[in-house]
């Protein structure tokens, strides 16, 4: 049995009871909604986490890389949506996944891509399930619902050999800019309307649209209507982070992933201290990118070693490659953070922080012990 | 033989000829200076890169993690400085390194740490080489040269059993905030004076100070005097990045590491395009943290596939987890960046970008082919 106190720092800790609670809450939310929950595994990248997220759901997942798709297929998941704009150059790995029996959903917003995919699908002897990607306000990728391009692309996907028009898909990533419940509800409704509008257009044109898919953690948590939708994709809800808690997706006590770190220096002359978790241990995703939040916690919030209590107002105000510089409002609580003592850092953005590690040290709750090691599938 | 055009994207490319040129330039700079170059391997984390950086030098390296120290020791490097504030809790791995014959330099700025290290060194039956860490203006860790704490700590390190006072060490990380040659020269001189002042204090008190160590890429590149120094530690010069080129450490044509990416979408309505290299492929270390630079290149500069020519003014203006959003001044050059085409992204901050990968695809120059795969030692 490994005690938390014997782990080398920095390392990544996953609180299994918080994870299970977060997963169950989202599963329950969609249990009788008519909408299938297809958890996005891009934050967790772990089959062990996926099994918890999939409990009570239909079994399909969302991924952000083909490496994730291959990994989850290796672990028996057979229904996977690869929710990043596909390019025909990635066809060999896609065809290999389909040939081994995976029901693989692809997305595009480009007619030229559809035409190229059709040629390559025929050459490979496979049929590709393709969803039309919509931009419901994020301004990243996707067509605008209501425009003629939706039907043009839908018709191409329906008629071109080797392709199957599977539906429409959007992601309200702009919900991350929301500040307040009403704001999130409005973005959730725009997300829903985008998908439903495009589905209606396709069906009015005599085209099929079996899947009407939306998803982001804030909109999944606070949306008021799922009318016309068939599928919800969200992911960060499993772990949570300080950013999500500040925009109201969950409480601080729900955050399931943290970085265990050691205090390595005191700077009384600067009212600060140093920990051995810097930019490589926490990522450089800093909260100041999010104006209007309750508190700027920099790169992370400093908790007690059992992760149950915040240490004053202490946060990671600045990071160097291997140093995190702690700051606080008012006098720094040096007595609570002696050199050599350990803290848990709640990450600002867990997807980026978790990606700095090969795996999770799993605890049942609080201060441990470590009950398992779960690996992650990083890379591409 | 692997052609660049057959690599899955995103992936990390290392141009060996640029690396060799950068390494030789720094080695030559210190060849007859009386100062030993101890390359910092925290950016590269690779024995293959270390061998090139060590050519013509004395053979010692600097590292930022004990995992790097163990890895380089495994590959035959016997003189290693671990240049992050040591805490006694890391003693077991430190003692193991020393017992296998590594000459391991440690750093501290804390009297209490010295006392604790002494007890643990005696318990382990080893003698620790410890340098006093100085703060020459970075305001991170370290004592201020000239203060009485330097001599107090020096005396403790000299007299406590199990410890050996080895010298003084500082890092002018504040040189990264410099804008202009004169500014860097001033910081380099402050770095030198800090180390030399502390060494003089120690010697005046009858204490030894064999090592007088400084180092950062900007100050190593532009410093005017090394008088009184014995050692230079710098690391990012091997690879270079857009940030270092903008503060004048090298030219854009010297940048040896880039990310190969594929164009996956066009957004004419937003005058932008998307690549499959986002925050996980580039890191979230963005150039806006550096006010006063010539150009805000966001998360990276977009070059042709052979990395020899910039594509207009195109840069990665924004990143999502797996999407990089390209922006440009004026009309976006869609015709030069068709969907499915490939680009090389010069990173804003190479230490963070390289850390997102397990290894390097090595090319001799330009468009390849890939001549080798070099692994990296990430983690702790």
Give the whole-angstrom CA distance, residue B283 versus residue A273: 25
| Ordered structural domains, chain A, with CATH | 4-11+249-375 (2.40.37.20), 16-238 (3.20.20.10)
* Beta strands B370-375; B359-363: pairing state: antiparallel
Query: What are A310-345's pLDDT values in tens digits?
Result: 999 999 999 999 999 999 999 999 999 999 999 999
Unique residue bearing structure tokens 């029901």: A103
Q: Which residues in chain B have their CB less than 8 angstroms from residue A352's CB?
A: 279-280, 284, 321
CA distances from A65 to A71, B3, B180, B262 (A): 10, 22, 41, 14
Q: Tell me, what's the pLDDT at A1?
A: 79
Query: What are B99-148's pLDDT values in tens digits?
Result: 999 999 999 999 999 999 999 999 999 999 999 999 999 999 999 999 99
Q: Tell me, what's the pLDDT at B292?
A: 67
Q: What is the 3-state secondary structure (H, E, C) of B239-306?
A: CCCHHHHHCCCCCHHHCCEEEEEEEEEEEHHHCEEEECCCHHHHCCCCHHHCCCCCCCCECEEEECCC
Q: Which residues in chain A have their CB less than 8 angstroms from residue B353's CB?
A: none
Q: Record the pTM.
A: 0.96
Give the whole-angstrom CA distance, residue A293 versus residue A282: 20
Nearest 5°: the CA angle B176, B177, B182 is: 95
Q: Tell me, what's the pLDDT at B51?
A: 98
**Residues with Cβ within 8 Å of residue A236, at least 6 apart in sequence:** A40, A43, A217, A244, A249, A350, A351
Q: Tell me, what's the pLDDT at A300?
A: 97
**pLDDT-based confidence at residue A292 (cuts at 50, 70, 90):** low
Tell me the ipTM for this assembly: 0.96
Mean pLDDT to the nearest integer, A122-145 = 97
Q: Tell me, what's the pLDDT at A288?
A: 56
A111 reaches B (C-beta below 8 A):
no
Q: Which of B85, B86, B284 sits opposite A285 (nearest CB)?
A: B284
Tokens of B64: 């930022």
A207 reaches B (C-beta below 8 A):
no
Taking alpha carbons only, the member of B4, B25, B46, B61 closest to residue B254 is B25
Query: What are A203-225's pLDDT values in tens digits?
Result: 999 999 999 999 999 999 999 99
A341 reaches B (C-beta below 8 A):
no
**Percent of chain A with pLDDT strictly greater than 90:** 93
Sequence-ordered alpha helix ranges (H) in B125-278: 148-159, 181-204, 217-222, 242-246
Residue A102: which H helix or E strand, with range?
Answer: none
A271 reaches B (C-beta below 8 A):
no
The Cα of B32 is separated from the nearest Cα of chain A by a number of Å equal to 31
Mean pLDDT to the nearest integer, A155-171 = 98
Q: Tell me, what's the pLDDT at A179?
A: 84
Query: What are A232-258's pLDDT values in tens digits?
Result: 999 999 999 999 999 999 999 999 999
Query: What are A137-150's pLDDT values in tens digits?
Result: 999 999 999 999 99
Mean pLDDT to the nearest integer, A298-307 = 96
Q: Count Cα neighbours of B93 within 13 Å in the Cβ-side half-sphere.
A: 19
Residues of chain B with pLDDT under 70: 288-293
A380 vs B8: CB contact, 8 Å cut-off?
yes
B358 reaches A (C-beta below 8 A):
yes
**Residues with Cβ within 8 Å of residue A335, at least 6 apart in sequence:** none
B339 vs A112: CB contact, 8 Å cut-off?
yes
B87 vs A270: CB contact, 8 Å cut-off?
no
B340 vs A173: CB contact, 8 Å cut-off?
no
Q: Tell me, what's the pLDDT at A286?
A: 85
């Amino acid at each position: 049995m490994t005690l938390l106190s014997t782990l080398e720092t920095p390392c990544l800790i996953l609180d299994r009871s918080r994870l299970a609670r977060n997963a169950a809450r989202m599963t329950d939310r969609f249990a009788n909604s008519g909408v299938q929950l297809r958890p996005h595994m891009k934050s967790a990248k772990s089959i062990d986490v996926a099994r918890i997220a999939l409990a009570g759901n239909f079994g399909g997942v969302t991924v952000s890389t083909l490496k994730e798709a291959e990994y989850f297929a290796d672990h028996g998941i057979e229904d996977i949506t690869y929710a990043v704009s596909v390019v025909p150059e990635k066809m060999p790995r896609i065809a290999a996944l389909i040939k081994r029996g995976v029901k693989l959903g692809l997305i595009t917003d480009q007619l030229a891509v559809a035409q190229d995919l059709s040629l390559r699908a025929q050459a490979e002897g496979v049929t590709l399930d393709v969803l039309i990607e919509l931009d419901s306000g994020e301004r990243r990728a996707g067509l605008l619902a209501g425009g003629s391009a939706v039907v043009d692309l839908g018709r191409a996907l329906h008629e071109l050999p080797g392709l199957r028009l599977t539906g429409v898909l959007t992601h309200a990533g702009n919900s991350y800019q929301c500040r307040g419940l009403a704001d999130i509800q409005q973005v959730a409704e725009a997300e829903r309307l985008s998908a439903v509008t495009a589905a209606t257009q396709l069906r009015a044109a005599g085209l099929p649209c079996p899947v009407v898919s939306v998803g982001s953690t804030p909109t999944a948590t606070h949306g008021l209507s799922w009318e016309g939708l068939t599928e919800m994709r969200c992911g960060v809800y499993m772990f949570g982070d300080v950013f999500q808690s500040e925009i109201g997706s969950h409480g601080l006590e729900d955050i399931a992933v943290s970085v265990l770190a050691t205090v390595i220096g005191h700077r009384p002359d600067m009212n600060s201290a140093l920990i051995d978790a810097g930019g490589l241990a926490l990522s450089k995703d800093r909260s100041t990118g999010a104006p209007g939040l309750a508190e700027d916690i920099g790169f992370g919030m400093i908790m007690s070693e059992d992760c149950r209590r915040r240490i004053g107002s202490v946060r990671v105000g600045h990071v160097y490659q291997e140093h995190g510089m702690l700051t606080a409002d008012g006098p720094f609580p040096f007595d609570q953070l002696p050199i050599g003592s350990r803290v848990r850092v709640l990450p600002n953005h867990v997807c980026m922080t978790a990606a700095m590690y090969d795996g999770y040290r799993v605890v049942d709750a609080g201060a441990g012990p470590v009950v398992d090691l779960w690996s992650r599938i990083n890379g591409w």
